[in-house]
Chains A and B, each alone.
Chain A
Amino acid sequence: MSPSRDPSQARFVRVAETGRATVSLRVDARPVQAYEGDTVMVAILTTQGGLRDAEFGPERRAGFCVMGACQDCWVWTRTGQRLRACTTPVRAGMDIVTRLVRGDDDTAPMRATTGGEEALWPLA
């Protein structure tokens, strides 16, 4: 099986090195296939358009410098670990969260334990 890619939503385009073994992970509770040797950033952005919600603005973010300098690509694991997506290799079984949890949003992949209107980091 080749890695998942929805052309209408993916941001990155694979142009080489597509013959590698695949690994399975979850992104916002959705099963995703990636290649061994992918960074977390590539695993996510070849299947969707964003990596995270900006904390200080309304927009989605998808990284910027891709070399560990800007820190605009940090994502969370479901267990609360933070990963810099551009420098972290993908591993099978990763469970990544790219959405901030908002207390008033039942559709968010996770519910914050404290609720409320304020945007919160995923806690559980």
Chain B
Amino acid sequence: MAARVIVIGAGPAGVRAAEALVEAGVRPLVIDEGRRDGGQIYRRQPEGFRRTYAALYGTEAARAQRLHHRFDALRPHIDYRPETLVWNIREGVVHLANAQGASHAPFDALIVCTGATDRLMPVPGWQYAGTYSLGGAQVALKSQGCAVGERTVMLGTGPLLYLLAAQYVKAGVTPAAVLDTSPTRARLRALPQLLVKPAVLLKGAALLRTLRAAGVPIHRGVTPVRIDGDEELGVRGVHVRLADGTALDVPANAVAMGFHLRPETQIADLAGCAFAFDDAAGQWLPEIDEDGRSSVPGVYLAGDGARVRGADAAECAGRLAALAALRDAGVEPKHDDAARLRAELARFSRFAAGLRAAFPWPAHHARQLPDTTVVCRCEGITAGELRRVCTQDGAVEANRAKAFSRVGMGRCQGRFCAHAGAEVMAAALAVPLADVGRLRGQAPVKPLAVALDPAPYADVTVATQDNAASATPRSMELS
């Protein structure tokens, strides 16, 4: 197989993709932003930290350990570039940057495993210091052994809301409250779909027992009203309306908030992949076939960066995408378990649909946000300004509204405002959400150092493997 294969991301999907490639005698270039492999879910603590797998990953300890050990064993057989950002993709070439400088790498096949970040819904006051994403509050604990506050309110919806709260209980920093926007009845309706993965349901029940035993107040069906705070000192508390209409104030010095996850699709977008609006997810997603092939030949998408189905599904999808890449290049994989992986992924898709139904995205909150609410945290732009450019300036589409209002133009490039912003726009324009469109991906996908020296702009040559039967892939050359 004379193919230069690049894997972006070293989380569950990326590691399993690399594994399948190495099995076939291919030496992939594995590029990852993290200092260590594992992605966010199985993020490895820094060297020298001493917590056990059980302490770090709970019920997922064995899975995390397997994945880390697998990656350690793969290291001699891959070209691994940690702490390296893929900031652009053009015409079959990946553009990289890291502390050493910039370079680029041409590819024949690209497997994009970019993972997900929290899907956010603005709440008045969420710009105050001490407000974090649920994922961020979890990274602080897993990667640094820190809680984001002494009294943290967990606000939003989704499985991570309960998982994080239970992890904080176990770490000795009992949350002030768990405030879930999804109503209990949604969970009951979703039960048939969730029963496809009974073991995961049982883990969820165990989390609830942990929270109840610790006396953590849990409220469902809440409407977030505001985060109270101080410009200098940050978060002071959270004010919500409960399901029965009564008001609740919870004093707190930190808020962790999130409403399920959204895939990181900028790389797929820059690679030219077609997107379609997914009604069930309420999001624009890159089109993929059941093996992860995108609309662009040679570009494959796997894991939560393509479809949010969780870490176990990402392991299946990563391997499946790599097997597809191999077959498309004319290599018959030695261990072709694609049929089993497809069946397994179908079950994960059903379960993910159940989770979406059980923990629905509260679109109506975005539509009802007060005009003064900051939608864009990067530049402090309000819902009222976004509505104004829609109704007065004629912005009828997300990119036009971005140009007029700058919502989505700040440093996060719309990662944390685009979903709610689209809901605000759709309501203001009285059109279906899909009609608002989606923000186009822009390079660089994250800020680059202006002083980045382009002079030693050396090509990174990805190893080619001419003989798929060979067990010792040729090493990478730097030209």
Contact = CB atoms under 8 A, between A and B. Distances in A.
Given A54-B127, A65-B118, A65-B416, A46 B146 contact: yes
Nearest to A60: B129
Interface string A1-45: 000000000011111111110000000000000001111001001
23 contacts: A11-B253, A15-B146, A15-B171, A15-B172, A16-B51, A17-B45, A19-B50, A20-B48, A37-B46, A37-B48, A46-B146, A50-B129, A51-B129, A54-B127, A59-B127, A62-B130, A64-B133, A65-B416, A67-B135, A69-B412, A70-B133, A71-B412, A89-B35
Interface of A: 11-20, 36-39, 42, 45-46, 49-51, 54-72, 74, 82, 86-87, 89
Contact of A67 (B40, B146, B231, B233): B40
B355 to A, nearest CB: 21
A27 B427 CA distance: 45
Contacts of B33: 68, 87
B234 A63 contact: no
Nearest to A18: B145
A64 B135 contact: no
Nearest to A21: B48
Main secondary structure of the interface of B (DSSP, over half): loop
Nearest to A54: B380
Contacts, number: 152
A39 B135 CA distance: 17
For the complex of A and B, the 9 pairs showing the least CB-CB separation, nearest first, are A66-B136, A71-B411, A16-B145, A17-B145, A56-B380, A62-B129, A57-B380, A12-B146, A59-B231
Contact of A14 (B47, B145, B446): B145
Contact of B150 (A13, A37, A50): A13
B378 interface: yes
Contacts of A45: 146
B148 A72 contact: no
B336 to A, nearest CB: 34
